[in-house]
């Protein structure tokens, strides 16, 4: 073995660090037998139990006797080919009994096993064979499985052979040297070259015995071999059972990667131990819950390859109690896993699961670097994990430089061994286990595949037209541009993290297809980016390095132009095309567009299979990856499965109450009565339910939620009488009618959740949402709440919630659906009595609060502020219709980081919030277009400042009419200060209900053709779409834009990424056209730039400010 350093470097330790590290070390000594090979145990069992099954491969099986015989005959063939101790032999092709036999034959000879994945392109195979100096390639399986391997071997000049038993048997028996190299396994490398990790015999055998020890493996166990050959866990899966007389079960790729097929195989084959990645565990649970059967004799599930989410572990124990769950962690460089953690059900609130304590003969240290020296971390302190002990491999084949960066002489042990730097951030817990916190470098895992982003960059940089490139992991933001208000046109399907490549090119711009082909010839498929973004140049930091934080967000995926678009034919093709489009985030998908060409990968393919199975498709994973076009998948036929409807037990509070409306509700009711057929007081949101949803369980949680919030079931009525709250007569003139006291009886209506989900495409969901939003509520004759449950093509669910604003505001909705997630997770026997009376307590508090002198004084403030004739905003280009539809449109702009920073600085200098300069700028724009110096802008207040209202699901929102007197002679700075005082005065009087003020204003002061008092609004309320996970289902409530605008126009301002703000100007299209609306927004930006320029703000008057949009202002 060449290319290794003669001496490993020393780790620079701070004074006293060695003693403290040794004291804090996690280690466990075990007297495992490491001097024999696996082949020796196989021969013992062959002698004692020759017919006992050793390897089960599909319909065929090998007994221990036959396995030992084949092992020696193949060893004879290899020896005849000149293979001897220490030589590297590549083994690739279909996973199966041939690979197990080949490994044992190589061990018998003392040769080195090099697994080669059959999915690798020929160029990568050639590169690795040349790099490793392999003496021979053993190509197992059928020619169709090994063609690329043989092609790559021939290109590298490496002879190939298929392992066929020789006539003679290899008769020598060599005892392996524990220090000899047993296998070499390639992992992704940060320099562009893959790293060949060297694992010794003792490390491998130690890991096998540790698995046997910690899992209690015996001759009765049947271990599933599911991992690709290039995945280090494939080694122990092939060998550990053979040390105890157990059985290795080879699972076909399709079984190993499809939850339903895996469940069937586990049950049918009596498998007792399974190891796989968390994603597959999730798919397995999906299949189990759908089929209602347990996975046979399975007694251990081992999670590996990526971080195990606490919710998934909790779901495992909920769904399959009695089957033990092990979390395993370990780098390839350390002979596979170095920690094991048996997990019980995680407690609520746990964010990371422990990766466990060390396996036998592994030594673990947590260190942190300061000023070039390493210090020992105390328990609970975050540091980087180092591994010592006999598990540590030799380094990287033929690469002493990279070996010296990760492997050191062990300064802590007594045997002068090696120490490996993992690059993983961890902390030691009080119980002696480790908690994994992520990578400290740019190595990532996507879908269980470990890769170095720098390797992808290096290969991409070899493209002749690329001058610079950067590769990042991007998690698409499924909230779109909106935070508090999400457009109905925003895609609803959540998307997984993806690789994005940014390239700067010389000459003609390279096509995405040419870049993809360049990488596909050199890298495994998971390392080929999903999206390519061509940029003029890469952003740089001050020291000249690529500034990854400054890279732009990638665009949504577009369909490649290389294939002519052919629309889907028939319902089946259309459903599949819609499913693919929703899953991948593409636009349209044609009938001949192949899944992988659209950017799909194996994990997305598994999700697509699950989604299509839910629609009755017979497509499997192989079908999706092989062709995956809607035409091909639809041709496979359909298999319909009837899903039983969910049954729910109603939970009712049978003590109905009758209470007057709150003043906030009364104000909304008053406006609704002005135009009861208008839908603009409808509030709509989508509860995104991503994950394996149990519809019956959700329906039960919904009934409990209604029992805890009887307001949602209220019936509204008008009665003669007085409310007495402010001494006013309750009768009000509304149009030509007199409306008396309005009360609500609750609970009254029943609003059950649908017992089953309706299957729709994303477009159909949005169309249905628009139809629901357009249907007004009749508050006097029907419930003010409607729900509909949908299942999208990707298998995820959406609960469409449409209600009248009388019930909830945005804050209340967020609180409400957070509680629904809790009820789904906890499954209590009944509703919480304290919550069921919370709304009544809120009403009592509000009644007491509104009777105070403070609120009465606030009422007098508003009467003074709104005295005299009230201005009506005159920016409409068109005549106000007699029967408006209130249909709205939106135009938007993003404040860049520079202007956003100036905005914050201006507000800070003015002792104000950023709302103040934004309000000032918007007022100036409105004044400019309406030619008025008296402007009233409505501003919503959350009304959640007091503990009694902080988390009550109700309509608490208050509207403040901010009346601004605009003096043309004032400087911009003076005007900003004036706006600040107006805003703060309004805040102080915010508790006085706007509806009460409206009642006391003379009718003559209000316009009969427009909304009362103000016709525009500035909304900066933060209603973030907070997500929570309950029983592995991600709950996230997102407000939908109903497409209606209750005011003539409104400006919404929301965060939009780090340091940026999004401005959305909504307007009634019956009053303004798009160019005019855009002008208002552009003029607002012009005013904002002037207000936030200290020099201009001090010396520019309102009169002299030119707000006409034009290029000179940009």
The answer to whether 293 and 265 are in contact (CB under 8 A) is: no
The answer to whether 66 and 205 are in contact (CB under 8 A) is: no
Q: Give the mean pLDDT of 99-108.
A: 96
Give the residue extent of every domain in the chain. 36-175, 444-556, 567-640, 657-832, 848-1113
Backbone φ, ψ for residue 214 (5° rounding): -75, -25
From the list 135, 126, 193, 136, the residue with the least C-alpha distance to 156 is 126
Structure tokens at 1: 């073995």
Backbone φ, ψ for residue 21 (5° rounding): -65, -45
Residue 315 has pLDDT above 60, yes or no: yes
192 DSSP 8-state letter: S
Q: What is the pTM of this model?
A: 0.52
Place of tokens 């982003």: 453
Residue 643 has pLDDT above 50, yes or no: no
Backbone φ, ψ for residue 224 (5° rounding): -75, 125
CA distance 553 to 1069: 31
Q: Give the mean pLDDT of 149-162.
A: 80
Residue 73 has pLDDT above 50, yes or no: yes
pLDDT by residue (tens digit) across 75-85? 999 999 999 99
Q: What is the pLDDT of residue 724?
A: 36
The answer to whether 311 and 326 are in contact (CB under 8 A) is: no
Backbone φ, ψ for residue 124 (5° rounding): -70, -40
**CA 561 from chain center: how many Å?**
29
Where is average pLDDT lowest: 199-203, 593-597, 966-970? 593-597
Q: What is the pLDDT of residue 1023?
A: 58
Residue 1008 has pLDDT above 70, yes or no: no
pLDDT by residue (tens digit) across 548-562? 877 876 755 555 555
Where is average pLDDT lowest: 316-325, 382-391, 412-421, 745-754? 745-754
Q: What is the pLDDT of residue 512?
A: 84
* All residues at 6 or more sequence positions from 860 whose CB lies less than 8 Å from its CB, including other chains: none
User: What count of other Cβ atoms lies within 10 Å of the Cβ of residue 724?
Assistant: 13
Q: Give the mean pLDDT of 633-652.
A: 46
Structure tokens at 752: 């059950």
User: What count of other Cβ atoms lies within 10 Å of the Cβ of residue 946?
Assistant: 13
pLDDT by residue (tens digit) across 744-755? 777 778 777 777
Structure tokens at 493: 């399907």
The answer to whether 204 and 224 are in contact (CB under 8 A) is: no
Question: What long-range pairs does 1054-1059 form, CB within 8 A, spacing at least 24?
Answer: 1054/482, 1054/483, 1054/484, 1054/485, 1054/1020, 1054/1022, 1055/483, 1055/1022, 1056/481, 1056/483, 1056/894, 1057/553, 1058/549, 1058/897, 1059/897, 1059/900, 1059/901
pLDDT interval class at 145 (50, 70, 90):
low
In CATH, 36-175 is 3.40.50.980: yes
- 49-53, 759-763, 851-855: which is most confident: 49-53
Residue 339 has pLDDT above 50, yes or no: yes
Which CATH superfamily does the domain covering 848-1113 fall into? Nonribosomal peptide synthetase, condensation domain (3.30.559.30)
From the list 361, 489, 517, 217, the residue with the least C-alpha distance to 1042 is 489
Q: What is the pLDDT of residue 486?
A: 43
Q: What is the pLDDT of residue 350?
A: 73
User: Mapped to the 3 state alphabet, what secondary structure does 498-519 carry?
Assistant: EEEEEEEECCCCCCHHHHHHHH
CA distance 813 to 1037: 8
Which CATH superfamily does the domain covering 657-832 fall into? Chloramphenicol acetyltransferase-like domain (3.30.559.10)
Reduce the DSSP state of residue 845 to 3 states and report it: helix
β partners of residue 502: 470, 533
Reduce the DSSP state of residue 871 to 3 states and report it: coil
Q: What is the dihedral of CA 169, 173, 179, 184, to 10 degrees?
A: 10
Reduce the DSSP state of residue 531 to 3 states and report it: strand
Share of the chain above pLDDT 70, in %: 86
pLDDT by residue (tens digit) across 800-829? 999 998 898 888 888 899 899 999 988 888
pLDDT interval class at 779 (50, 70, 90):
confident
User: What count of other Cβ atoms lies within 10 Å of the Cβ of residue 1044?
Assistant: 19
Give kind and range of the element (H or E) at residue 532.
strand 531-534
Residue 245 has pLDDT above 50, yes or no: yes
Strand-strand pairing, 136-140 and 88-93: parallel
Q: What is the pLDDT of residue 829?
A: 86
Residue 98 has pLDDT above 90, yes or no: yes
Q: Give the mean pLDDT of 107-119.
A: 93
Distances (CA, A) of 648 to 283, 695, 707, 783: 26, 10, 14, 20
Indicate the average pLDDT of the chain: 84
pLDDT interval class at 298 (50, 70, 90):
very high
Residue 17 has pLDDT above 50, yes or no: yes
Where is average pLDDT lowest: 168-172, 345-349, 409-413? 168-172
Q: What is the pLDDT of residue 765?
A: 93
Higher-confidence position of 137 and 506: 137
679 DSSP 8-state letter: -
User: What count of other Cβ atoms lies within 10 Å of the Cβ of residue 908?
Assistant: 11
Place of tokens 């999208």: 792
The shares of helix, strand and coil residues in the chain, as percent rounded to the nearest 5, are: 35, 25, 40
Reduce the DSSP state of residue 900 to 3 states and report it: helix
Give kind and range of the element (H or E) at residue 543.
none
Q: What is the pLDDT of residue 548?
A: 80
**CA 58 from chain center: how many Å?**
36
Q: Give the mean pLDDT of 510-536.
A: 87
Higher-confidence position of 482 and 832: 832
Q: What is the pLDDT of residue 355?
A: 96
User: Mapped to the 3 state alphabet, what secondary structure does 754-822 carry?
Assistant: CCCCEECCHHHHHHHHHHHHHCCCCCCCCCCEEEEEEECCCCCEEEEEEEECCCCCHHHHHHHHHHHHH
User: What count of other Cβ atoms lies within 10 Å of the Cβ of residue 262?
Assistant: 26
Reduce the DSSP state of residue 109 to 3 states and report it: helix
Structure tokens at 125: 């195979």
Query: What is the CATH number assigned to the segment(s) 567-640?
Result: 1.10.1200.10
What is the per-residue DSSP string for 982-1026? HHHHHHHTTTS-HHHHHHHS-GGGS-SSS-SS-SEEEE-------
Residue 1017 has pLDDT above 60, yes or no: yes
Residue 836 has pLDDT above 50, yes or no: yes
Reduce the DSSP state of residue 685 to 3 states and report it: strand
Q: What is the pLDDT of residue 722?
A: 40
Where is average pLDDT lowest: 151-160, 481-490, 832-841? 481-490
644 DSSP 8-state letter: P
Where is average pLDDT lowest: 234-243, 505-514, 689-698, 1088-1097? 505-514
Where is average pLDDT lowest: 173-182, 729-738, 919-928, 1010-1019? 729-738
The answer to whether 354 and 443 are in contact (CB under 8 A) is: no
Higher-confidence position of 592 and 407: 407
pLDDT interval class at 613 (50, 70, 90):
low
Length of the chain: 1114
User: What count of other Cβ atoms lies within 10 Å of the Cβ of residue 887?
Assistant: 15
Q: Give the mean pLDDT of 997-1018.
A: 79
CA distance 688 to 696: 17
Share of the chain above pLDDT 90, in %: 42
pLDDT by residue (tens digit) across 433-477? 999 877 777 777 776 676 878 778 878 888 888 888 899 988 654
Which residue intervals of 877-1020 are DSSP H helices? 897-909, 915-930, 972-988, 994-1000
Residue 913 has pLDDT above 70, yes or no: yes
CA distance 580 to 587: 10
Distances (CA, A) of 253 to 94, 270, 610, 612, 613: 9, 18, 16, 19, 19
Fold type of domain 444-556: GMP Synthetase; Chain A, domain 3 (3.30.300)
The answer to whether 921 and 1084 are in contact (CB under 8 A) is: yes
CA distance 560 to 589: 10
Q: What is the pLDDT of residue 602?
A: 47
CA distance 312 to 982: 52
Residue 52 has pLDDT above 80, yes or no: yes
From the list 753, 754, 759, 755, the residue with the least C-alpha distance to 641 is 759
CA atoms within 13 A on the CB side of 271: 26
Is the fold of 657-832 the same as that of 848-1113?
yes
The sign of the dihedral angle between the CA atoms of 839, 844, 845, 850 is: positive
């Amino acid at each position: 073995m060449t290319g290794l350093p003669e001496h490993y470097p020393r780790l620079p330790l701070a004074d006293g660090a060695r003693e403290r590290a040794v004291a804090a070390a996690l280690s466990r000594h075990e007297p495992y037998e490491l001097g024999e090979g696996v082949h020796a145990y196989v021969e013992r069992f062959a002698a004692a139990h020759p017919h006992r099954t050793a390897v089960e491969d599909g319909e065929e099986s090998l007994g221990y006797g036959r396995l030992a015989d084949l092992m020696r005959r193949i060893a004879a063939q290899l020896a005849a080919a000149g293979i001897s101790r220490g030589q590297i032999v590549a083994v690739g092709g279909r996973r199966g009994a041939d690979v197990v036999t080949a490994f044992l034959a190589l061990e018998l000879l003392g040769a080195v096993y090099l697994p080669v994945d059959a999915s690798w392109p020929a160029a990568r195979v050639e590169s690795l064979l040349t790099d490793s100096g392999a003496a021979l390639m053993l190509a197992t399986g059928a020619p169709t499985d090994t063609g690329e391997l043989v092609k790559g071997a021939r290109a590298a000049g490496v002879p190939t052979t298929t392992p066929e038993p020789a006539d003679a048997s290899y008769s020598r028996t060599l005892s392996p040297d524990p220090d000899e190299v047993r296998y070499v396994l390639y992992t992704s490398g940060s320099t562009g070259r893959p790293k060949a990790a060297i694992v010794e015999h003792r490390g491998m055998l130690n890991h096998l015995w540790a698995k046997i020890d910690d899992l209690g493996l015996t001759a009765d166990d049947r271990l599933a071999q599911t991992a690709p050959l290039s995945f280090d866990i494939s080694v122990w899966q092939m060998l550990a059972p053979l040390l105890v007389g157990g059985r290795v079960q080879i699972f076909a790729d399709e079984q190993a990667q499809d939850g339903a097929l895996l469940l069937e195989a586990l049950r049918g084959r009596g498998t007792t131990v399974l190891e796989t990645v968390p994603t597959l565990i999730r798919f397995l649970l999906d299949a189990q819950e759908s089929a209602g059967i347990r996975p046979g004799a399975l007694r251990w599930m081992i999670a590996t390859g990526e971080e195990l989410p606490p919710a998934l572990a909790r779901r495992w124990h909920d769904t399959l109690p009695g089957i033990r769950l092990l979390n395993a962690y370990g780098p390839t460089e350390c002979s596979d896993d170095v920690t094991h953690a048996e997990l019980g059900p995680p407690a609520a609130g746990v964010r990371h699961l422990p990766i466990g304590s060390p396996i036998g003969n592994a030594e673990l240290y947590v260190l942190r670097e300061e000023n070039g020296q390493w210090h020992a971390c105390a328990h609970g302190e975050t540091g980087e994990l180092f591994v010592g002990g006999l598990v540590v491999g030799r380094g990287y084949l033929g690469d002493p430089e990279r070996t010296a960066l990760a492997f050191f002489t062990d300064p802590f042990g007594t045997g002068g061994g090696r120490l490996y730097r993992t690059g993983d951030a961890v902390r030691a817990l009080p119980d002696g286990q480790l908690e994994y916190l992520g990578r400290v470098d740019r190595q990532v895992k996507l879908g269980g595949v470990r890769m170095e982003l720098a390797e992808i960059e290096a290969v991409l940089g070899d493209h002749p037209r690329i001058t610079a490139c950067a590769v990042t992991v991007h998690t698409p933001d499924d909230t779109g541009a909106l935070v508090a208000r999400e457009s109905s046109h925003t895609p609803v399907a959540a998307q997984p993290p993806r690789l994005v490549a940014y390239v700067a090119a010389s000459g003609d711009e390279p096509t995405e297809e040419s870049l993809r082909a360049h990488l596909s010839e050199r890298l495994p498929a998971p390392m080929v980016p999903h999206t390519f973004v061509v940029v003029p140049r890469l952003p740089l930091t001050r020291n000249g390095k690529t500034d990854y934080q400054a890279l732009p967000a990638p665009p949504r995926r577009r369909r490649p132009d290389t294939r002519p678009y052919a629309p889907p034919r028939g319902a089946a093709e259309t459903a599949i095309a819609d499913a693919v489009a929703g899953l991948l985030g593409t636009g349209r998908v044609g009938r001949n567009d192949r899944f992988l060409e659209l950017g799909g990968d194996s994990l997305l393919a598994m999700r697509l299979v699950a989604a299509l199975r839910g629609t009755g498709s017979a497509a499997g994973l192989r079908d999706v990856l092989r062709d995956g076009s809607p035409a091909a998948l639809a041709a496979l036929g359909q298999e319909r499965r009837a899903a039983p409807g969910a049954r729910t037990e109603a939970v009712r509070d049978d003590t109905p109450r009758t209470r007057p409306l709150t003043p906030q509700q009364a104000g909304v009711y008053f406006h609704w009565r002005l135009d009861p057929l208008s839908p603009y007081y409808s509030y709509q949101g989508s509860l995104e339910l991503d994950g394996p949803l149990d519809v019956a369980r959700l329906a039960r949680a919904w009934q409990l939620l209604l029992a805890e919030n009887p307001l949602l079931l209220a019936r509204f009525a008008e009665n003669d009488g007085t409310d007495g709250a402010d001494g006013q007569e309750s009768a009000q003139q509304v149009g030509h009618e007199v409306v008396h006291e309005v009360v609500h009886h609750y609970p009254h209506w029943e609003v059950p959740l649908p017992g089953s989900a309706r299957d729709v495409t994303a477009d159909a969901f949005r169309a249905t949402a628009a139809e629901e939003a357009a249907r007004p509520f009749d508050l006097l004759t029907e419930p003010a709440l409607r729900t509909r449950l949908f299942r999208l093509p990707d298998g995820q669910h959406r609960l469409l919630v449409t209600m009248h604003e009388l019930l909830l505001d945005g804050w209340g909705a967020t609180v409400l659906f957070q509680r629904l997630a809790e009820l789904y997770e906890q499954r209590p026997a009944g509703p919480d009595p304290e919550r069921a009376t919370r709304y009544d307590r809120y009403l009592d508090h509000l009644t007491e609060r509104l009777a105070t002198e403070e609120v009465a004084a606030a009422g007098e403030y508003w009467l003074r502020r709104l005295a005299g004739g009230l201005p009506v905003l005159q920016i409409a280009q068109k005549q106000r219709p007699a029967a408006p539809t209130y249909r709205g449109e939106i135009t938007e702009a993003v404040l860049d980081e520079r202007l956003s920073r100036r905005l914050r600085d201006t507000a800070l200098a003015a002792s104000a919030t950023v709302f103040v300069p934004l309000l000032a700028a918007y007022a100036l724009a409105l004044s400019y277009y309406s030619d008025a110096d008296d402007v009233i802008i409505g501003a919503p207040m959350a009304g959640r400042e007091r503990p009694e209202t902080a988390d009550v699901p109700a309509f608490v929102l208050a509207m403040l009419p901010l009346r601004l007197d605009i003096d043309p002679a004032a400087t911009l700075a003076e005007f900003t200060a004036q706006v600040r005082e107006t805003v703060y005065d309004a805040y102080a009087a915010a508790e006085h209900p706007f509806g009460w003020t409206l009642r006391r204003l003379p009718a003559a002061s209000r316009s009969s053709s427009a909304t009362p008092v103000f016709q525009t609004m500035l909304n900066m309320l933060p209603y973030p779409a907070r997500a929570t996970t309950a029983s592995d289902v991600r709950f996230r409530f997102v407000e939908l834009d109903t497409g209606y605008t209750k005011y003539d126009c409104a400006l919404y301002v929301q965060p939009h990424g780090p340091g940026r703000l999004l401005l959305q100007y909504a307007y009634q299209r019956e009053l303004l056209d798009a160019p005019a609306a855009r002008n208002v927004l552009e003029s607002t930006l012009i005013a904002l730039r002037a207000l936030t320029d200290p020099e201009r703000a001090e010396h520019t008057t309102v009169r002299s400010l030119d707000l006409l949009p034009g290029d000179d202002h940009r």
